[in-house]
Every structure is written in C-alpha cells, then in structure tokens.
Structure 1
Amino acid sequence: MYRVMLVDDDYPVIEYLQQAIPWQALNMEVIGGFSNGQKAYDYATNLPDILLTDIGMPVMNGLELINALTLRKKNLRSIILSCHDEFSFAMQAIKLNVVDYILKESLDPVSLIKLLEQMKHSLDEEKTLKKQEVSKELITSLEDNPLLDEAAWADQTDQIGLDFRTYVYIPVLCVINRQQVAEKRYSSKKLLSFSMQNVIEEVVAKEKEQGIFHLSYNGKETVLLFQYRDLVKTNVYESLEGTLRTINDAIKDYLKFSVTFIVGTNSENATSLKSNIKQLLKGKDHCFYRLEGSILKLDALDYQYSEEDLFIHHVEATEHFQQLIMKEDVENLKRKLAYWIALIRETRYKPQVVREWGLKILLDLRMKIKSLHYFETRFSEEVVHQNLFWVESLDHFQDMMWTQLADLLHVVQYINTSSKRREIIEAQRYVMEHLHEKISMSEVAQRLHLNASYFSRLFKKETNENFVDYVLRLKMERACEYLDHSDYSIEQISDRLGFDSKSYFIRTFRREIGMLPTAYRHKI
C-alpha cells in the first residue's frame, strides 16, 4: 500500500479526510495526522508516498514541509489544502512540483478521490519502471561487474520486491532462438525486448495462480523469477513448465519466433539467486544441440564436446554436395544434409568447429561451381561468414546451410537452362563426377557424340581453358583438399584421383603446385 500523511492545524479537517476517503480501496494507508509541519517531519522516518498538507501552520508551514521531505524523497506526491488563494503561494507550490492546490472551501471528496486515483496510477507506473530498471541492472551487473558487493545486490533484489523471508525463487533464463533474425525483423534490440516483455506480461497476468513473476531485461537476456511459498506441497516444476509453454506459444503466435528456456535451481536468498543466475547465463552457451523451444534444466545441460576432428569429413561432404548440386537432385541434397547434421548431433563436435566446417564447405563449393566460368554467385563470403557466425543452434545451422546450398543449386539450374552450349556443361559435370577415374578428352567427346578435335576447340572457345588443363586443375584442387583435410597417404590420394602411379602423381603435383605433396601437407 502507498503511505499517506495528513498535516493540518485544523484537526477536524484531518478527521474529515480520514473518514471521507476510501483509503484502503485506493490501496493507500494513512500513516499519521499531524498539526504542524515539524511534527510531521520528525515522524517521517518512514517517508510517505503522498502528502496532503495545509500551508499556514505554526513552527513549520506546509511549503517548508514539502521542500524538506522532497529533499529526502524526490518522487513525493504533494497536494496542498489551503484557505489562502494568494498568487505567491500558488507560485511557490508550482516550484515545488505540487500536484494540485485545492482551496478548502471548494473541497469535494469525489474530485479528491479522482485526483488520488491518478496519483496511484502514476506511482504504479513509476514503480513498474523502477523495477524494470533495477532488474535490468541485476542481470547487467553479473556480466559487467561480477564482483558487485553482495549487500548492494541484496538491496537491489529488495527494491524489485523479492521477499526471501516468505518465498523461494526459481530463476528461468529465456534464450531467443535465432536472435539475429529476430532483431532484423524488429529493427532493434530495444524494440524486440519491449515486444517480448509485453507478451510475457500478458501471459503472467492470466497465470496469477502461478505466483508473482519478476522480469529482468538487459536487451539481450531475459530472466523470469518464479515465486513459491511452499515447494513441498506444490508440484512446482509441472506448474512452471506449463506456464513456460504458454509463454512460448504466445511468443510464437504474436512475435513469430521461439524461445528456449533454461530452468535454474531454488534460490532462498539474494546470494544464491545471484549464483544461480550467473550459472544460467553460462548455460546458454551450451544449448547448441538442444531443440529450439525446449525447456531445459540447468543441472541436466551437457557441457562435454567431442575432441574428434570434424574436418576429416570435409572432402567427403563437399564431394557429396557438389555432385548432387550438379545433378540438380534436390531431394537427395536435403537427405545428404540431414545425414551430416545427424552425424554432427550424434558426435557433438564443438559448436565453433561446426560453424567453421560449414563455412569452409560453402566457400569451397562456391569456388568449384564458379570454375565453370559461366557465372558469379550472388552471396559474398562476408555475408555467409556473418550468418554462420551467429548461428546458436544446430537446427539453425541446418537451415542456414540449406539456404546457401539451395542458392548454389539455383545457380546451376540457371546455367543449365540458359547456356547455349550444353555440351560444355555436360562435359564439366562429367569431369567433376569422375575425378576418381582417368579421364581422356576422346572419351568425353565420344559421350557427347562430338568429334574430339571439334570438342577441344569448342571447350577452349567457351571456357578459355584447354580441356586437359581443366581436368588437371580440378584434380590438383581435389588433391590439395585431401592433403589439407584427410589422413589419406600420398599413394591413396593418387589412387583416388585416377593416376596411373604414385610417382606420376607426385611429379604432376610438383609441376602444378610448385612443391611436393609431403611438403604441402607439412606446411599447414
């Protein structure tokens, strides 16, 4: 309740105000009635929220009282009840930010009640904003100032209304899935946070039986505090999860994104709450392999990642994707991506390694398809890098990879439908799919039902590169990939690229790359 102080040297006025105004219905309580400003000031160890005072009183008048209390409480709301209508008094009242100046002769209880209702509404809004500001500082302090004094942190929790003597609190971290995408949709972090806050508060208002929620925002993280009086009698986690699902459904419906929740442990005091929230903030970095929209318990998060080298699969995965893109095989391209995602999920590689692996594959595919000399891709390396860098879950990684693979697929489809020389496209596709074999120009010309000499001139004209040089270049590029990202021996690489002998492969590699295969491998 808001505290109200009544001050007037005419005691019947105080009695009248106490009886005529429904203080309790207004969520207010009169903490005292005083005959002069000095008595009121001396009593005000627990400062009032609202002051109704006369002006002309002995010892300390009303204006002096307002000034003295405002120095101690800047947001004090004051109403003057006076017999004086002099302009000078009114001007002093304005300077002291008095809410209203009412002449006793025109005092109307109905009008005064409306004025008090307006003041209550103003105080409610101010209280809400203060809670949000302090709760924001709570989360920010854990990241920017982890050594914040425990007493200061406890004081902040008290300011937002946490009562550890009566309740136990369970913190829940809300992690926005695909936050970068959501921020682009809402233009700014501030607008995104504001929109999310409104949706959560609507759900919270309908879930009163769950208890009181205190929301904490810092523009990025959102923490919900679930308040419980008795954890034994209440099926806490079942009730909590039901509310979280309702919140997530509302966010999906209204804001068009989803949230993953991490549920912390019981907090019986400000110190344990601080520790639990810090653990939640660390836990968000370990949600990469969880399904988006999940409700996770902090103590169930898996912090272990595989030490295996994902890049040993780089060449194989790139070959799979390249072949299916060149064949324009959409369905099998999707299946192959799903296969690699399943392997990554099962093995649990480090998230950053997964991002780097995906980026390397996409950039290599871009260069390989660009080598057709017929096109320029629409995406830049910087854009692809930024998109994958912000990927926070494997589900998001899969969608991002598919978007980029589909873009390359569309490029190949465009080439195949717009090129006037399909023979060249067919020849290049055949080479890419048969690098593991010995490839002769006459064999390829025969497959295209062309004279070998004519095919040689046509290929040179269309690509500005001899066919034999083209085949050799692709084989050397593949050899470098094997040396970079596999444990294959030199002899195995030679066999996989269709060379007649290991020695011939080594000579060719040295001539084209400028060093021996072993030297190339060891330089990395």
Structure 2
Amino acid sequence: MYKVMLVDDDYPALEFLSEMIPWQALDLELQSIHENGASALAYASKHMPDILITDIGMPKMNGLELTEKMKQQKSNLQVAILSCHSEFEYAQKALKLDVQDYLLKDTLELEDISAFLLGIRMKLEQDHQTSVKQLKLENVVERNKHLAKGKFFREIIYQSPFNKKDWFFNDNFSGFKLERRPFIPMLCFIDNYKNRKEFYVSEDVFEFAVQNVIGEVLINCDTDAIYFNFERNKSFILFPYHTSLKEDNYGSLNQALLKMQDALKKYLDVSISFILGDPTKPEDIPFEITNLLKSKRQYFYMETCLIAKKDQDVLDSNKDLFSYYDQAAMELRNLIFEKNTSNIDPFVSKWFEFMQENRFDPDTVKEWILKLLLEIKLKLKTLQYFQSSFKVEILHQEILSIETMDELKLWLINCLKSVLKLTTEALYMSKNKEIAEACMYVAMHIEKKLSLDEVAKHLFLNASYFSRLFKKEVGKTFVEYVKTIKMERAKELLDQTTDTVGNVCDRLGYDNQSYFIKLFKNYVGVTPAEYRGAKVKI
C-alpha cells in the first residue's frame, strides 16, 4: 500500500481532503498531514512517503522548495501541486521539478484528485514491476558472470599441465583477465553448508546470495581481489600480493576476510572459513588452487569461522580407527537398548574427540560411522516397524555429502535420536510390549548365546509363561526365532563382509563351527562357503 503526505497551511482544506478522499478504496494510506513545509520535510526525513500533495504558498517553506528537497532524497517521489495561482511562472517551476500534476484549488473537484491518485498508484505499480524485472535481469547477468568464472577456472584446473602455461591471457564471458602480478589464492567454504542451504529456495539462490555479499565487501575494501565460485561450497578469492616491504599483505587480507565474515553473519546468518595458500605467480595459480582443493583433511577438521594457512604436512595417524570399532559398536548397541536419548550426545562427543585428536582420514571416518549405523540397521532388521525408515542408500548419499566434522557430528546425533525415537515409539505402540521388548533384546544381543531363561528374567516374567506367550504371539518358539535371526544375520555377514566362516560363527555366539555350518545348511540349503561362492558367481 503506497503512502501519501498532505501539506497545506489551510486547515479546512487539509480536513476536507483527508476525510473526503476514499483512501482505502484507492489502495492508499494517508501517512501524515502538515500545515507547513518545514514540518513536512522533518517528518519525511524519517518517514518518506510515495506521494506528496502540497500547497505552494506556505510559511517557513513553500511547496516548491519542499518538493525540491524531498526529491533530492527520493527521486521517484510522485507530486501533485495544489495552488490558487494559475500563473505560468509557478507551472513552469513545477514542470522543472517533474511534478506529476498542477491542480488549481478554485476549480478542483474530488473526482479529479481521486482520478489523479488512481493514476499515480498505477504508475508506481508499473514502475515497481519494471524495476523488479530489471533487477532480475541484472541478477541473471551477474549470476552468469559468476558461473562463467567458475567454469573458466574448472577448465583450467582440470586440463593438462601443458595447457596451463599461458592460461591467464585468456578472455572469457565473465570479462575476467588476470594481471601479471602475484596473488594469494584462498579456499572459501560455508560452515555447516548442508543445513544452512535448507533455509533458501534452492542451493543456487543460497550460493548467489553469498556471492553477492562477498562481492560487495571486496568492492568496499578496494582490494582488486578476484572472487569466483568453483563448485559446491568451494569458492576462491585471488588476493593481490604486493612485493613491497611497506605493504602488510596478510594484515590487509585478514581485515578484508574479517569484514566478509561479519557481513555474511549480519545479512545471511552464515559463517564462513578460509584456507590461505602461498603467494603465487599468475601462471602457477592453477597448481596452488589444486593444492588447496587437496586440503580435504584440514577442511574436514577445521573449527567454524576460522582463517587458517594451508597445512604443509598432513601425517596419517599411527592408530587404526577400525580397531576401536567393536568397542564403539557395543556402546552404541547398549545406548539403543537403554532407549535413553540423553546418552546420545556424550557417546558421539567422546568418539568425535578421539577422531579429532588423531585426525583420521575423512573417508575413513565416514566409512567407520556408516558401518556403525548399518550394524544397528542389521540388528534391528528383525523389527518390522524399523525396516522402511533406515535406507542404506539414503544413509550413504547423506554421509558422502557431508564435508566437515561439525556437520557430521550434528548429522549423526540427529540420526541416532531418530532411530531411538522410532524404536521407542514402536515398542510403545506394540500390542504386546513384553514380546516386542524380547525381540529388541535378541536384536541387540545377537552375538551372544541367548537362552529363554535369560530373556524371561530380563522381562521379569516366569520362563514357562514367557515361552507360551512368545509362541502364541510370534508363531514359533523362542529357540526357533533366535535361530532364524542368527541365520539371517549370518547371510548378511557373508554377503556384506569378507569375514571368514569362522569369524561369522564367532560373531554370532557359536563356539562350535561344525554345529554352526550344520544349522546354516539346514536353514539355507547350502553351507556358508557354498552360499558365498554362489553369490560371488552371480
């Protein structure tokens, strides 16, 4: 709704216009009325209207002076002059000020001013639509320039070293052409990118918003730095490096990056981090960018909102993360079995601190966590309510898309809380909670020797009563059920791991391998070795 200001030293005229004009019907808001130009100008400095209707002859400041000063603040202000004067001099001055109408009070009709206001409103709406279209067009052009820069650099980075020699002489659609001077390349990435982008319509819109803020900061810093988006959550800044000893290159760079961090936090509530490369000649920039792209481990373990120099040497930990797998799997199994969500954060924090201290390879960390989750999935597979909500493919895709330790930690905590919530709800909704609890106990302790007495004791039930109840609800005896679960688990281990038959036997709590093989053959129709061999051939 567009806002109107009325200014006239004739109060009856003000009262007449304010009360008789159908403001709401015209989709306008009468913002304020004033009896002199000075008062109107003071008010407009804080609350600028879209439309000004003013008399000419007023004390302190006349209408033409008021119009001129208000148009200096808002050039597209729409103005109608009310006057008792029909002289050419006044009309000429109004014309120079780009006044939309010059209305004589003596001949003024209410329909005339209503028609004027309706026309002005339509013009404002049309101008607004034109501005929006122009802004969209400018954004498209600017976005295409960003995309062109990224495409240009990807072609340079991924082409053969021979072709990189004179790359900086190339022109491209974005207008980019590098000067013959050293630069400090730096890798930029949004912290917690996976979650932050969810607040925007699309990933492209999110990245473009970030690019605009960074571009504005670089322009204001007057650094001649070059910014371009490279690929998903990886962008680069080429910061000019001055060889003069008088220049504090890293001081200026650090100031610009801090301003960038402040602006992104203020306008988009986004945190950004940087890894700085070494001062580099133009012809060697592709190689330095390639080195920064290889800083995956440093990037993975970095704290949020950090400015850091590139690690020169990254040594592998002398510990094997998978040697701690069984311990973590046992703790996670107990955590799920206890159904206490307050234990999830301490469990995840403990293991992530361990991984942070040893800086294991990020791919190894992801593989380790994925294996933990799949282990829980397999243990809970016998609980029918859980199967549809824990897809291996989705887990794999999600964990691959995560690029930092902090994101991975948050994702794992949410994932485990979701698992715990589903299992707890399913147990609560089960027709027979004792049987559901018994099935959960079997799933969580599948690697043990399980007896009916042990489970009945856990449920505080008489063993004979539990045996009859289980057979009635499940349709098979407890012993048959446990055997079925263990044999299905054996098939999964043979399919998905390289464990020997002996290891599979041990993992399922059997101390006699011959007995295990006999049970497996009776259940599946072939021995474990034959079963795995048949799968390999397929």
**TM-score category by the smaller chain?**
0.5 to 0.7
Is residue 253 of structure 2 the alignment partner of residue 240 of structure 1?
yes
Work out which of the residue numbers 340, 352, 356 in structure 1 matches 2:351.
Answer: 340
Q: CA deviation digits over 1:255-282, x for unaligned, max 9?
A: 34433312111124x2133332333234
Q: CA deviation at 1:178?
A: 4.7
List per-residue Cα deviations over 1:204-240 (Å, max 9, x = no partner): 34434xx332222346442212224345333432442
Deviations 1:386-419 (A, max 9, x none): 1112111222222222222111100122123222
- The residue aligned with 2:392 is 381
Question: For 2:146 and 2:532, how far apart are their aligned partners in 1?
Answer: 57
Per the alignment, residue 168 of structure 2 pairs with 153
Within 2, Cα distance between the matches of 1:172 and 1:489?
51
> Paired residue for 1:325?
336
Q: 1:440 aligns with which of 430, 434, 451?
A: 451
CA pair 294-489 structure 1, distance change in 2 beyond 3 A: farther
- Counterparts of 1:24-423 in structure 2, within 5 Å, are 135-146=149-160, 147-148=162-163, 150-156=165-171, 160=176, 162-164=178-180, 168-208=182-222, 211-218=223-230, 220=232, 221-230=234-243, 232-268=245-281, 270-284=282-296, 287-300=299-312, 302=314, 304-305=315-316, 310-423=321-434
Q: Quick one: structure 1 residues 224 and 400, their matched pair in 2 at CA, closer, same or farther if it must change by over 3 Å?
A: same
SS across alignment from 2:206: helix
**Shift, 1:378, TM fit:** 2.8
**Are the counterparts in 2 of residues 313 and 486 from structure 1 also a CA contact under 8 Å?**
no
SS of match in other structure, 1:287? helix
Mapped contact 1:312–1:486 kept (Cα < 8 A): no
Map 1:482-493; keep pairs closer than 5 Å. Answer: 490=502
Q: Summarize deviations over 1:149-181 as a string: whole Å, max 9, x none.
A: 6335234499646543xx542111212345454
Could you tell me whether the CA contact under 8 Å between 1:377 and 1:411 is conserved in 2?
no
TM-score, reference length from structure 1: 0.62
Which residue is 2:123 aligned to?
none
Tell me if structure 2 keeps the 8 A contact 1:372–1:463. no
Q: Deviations over 1:399-444 (max 9, x none)?
A: 2222221111001221232223221133234434555654322443
Partner in structure 2 of residue 13 of structure 1: none
Residue 353 of structure 1: CA displacement?
Answer: 3.4
Gaps of 5+ in 1: 1-123
Amino acid at match of 1:440: S
Q: Give the 3-state SS of the residue equivalent to 2:427 in structure 1.
A: helix
Contact persistence 1:292–1:393 (CA under 8 A): no
After superposition, give the CA deviation of every residue in 1:92-135 in whole Å (9 maximum; x if it has no partner). Answer: xxxxxxxxxxxxxxxxxxxxxxxxxxxxxxxx999989975774
User: Is 1:260–1:294's contact at 8 Å kept on the other side of the alignment?
Assistant: yes
Kept in 1: contact 2:301–2:359 (CA 8 A):
yes
Q: Following the alignment from structure 1 to structure 2, what is the Cα–Cα distance between the partners of residues 515 and 312? A: 32
| Aligned residues with identical type, % of pairs | 33
Tell me which amino acid in the other structure corresponds to 1:197: Q
What is the RMSD of the two structures over their aligned residues, measured on CA atoms? 4.1
Residues matched between the structures, number = 394
Q: CA deviation at 1:347?
A: 4.1
**Preserved CA contact (<8 Å) 2:191 2:304:** yes
Q: State the shift of 1:512 in Å.
A: 4.4
1:475 to partner: Cα distance: 4.3
Report the equivalent of 1:467: 478
User: Which residue of structure 2 lines up, in the alignment, with residue 34 of structure 1?
Assistant: none
Q: What is residue 88 of structure 1 aligned with on the other side?
A: none
The change in CA–CA distance for 1:240 and 1:499 in structure 2 (over 3 A counts) is same
Contact 1:315 1:486 in 2 (8 A): no
Where do 5+ consecutive residues of structure 2 fail to align?
1-137
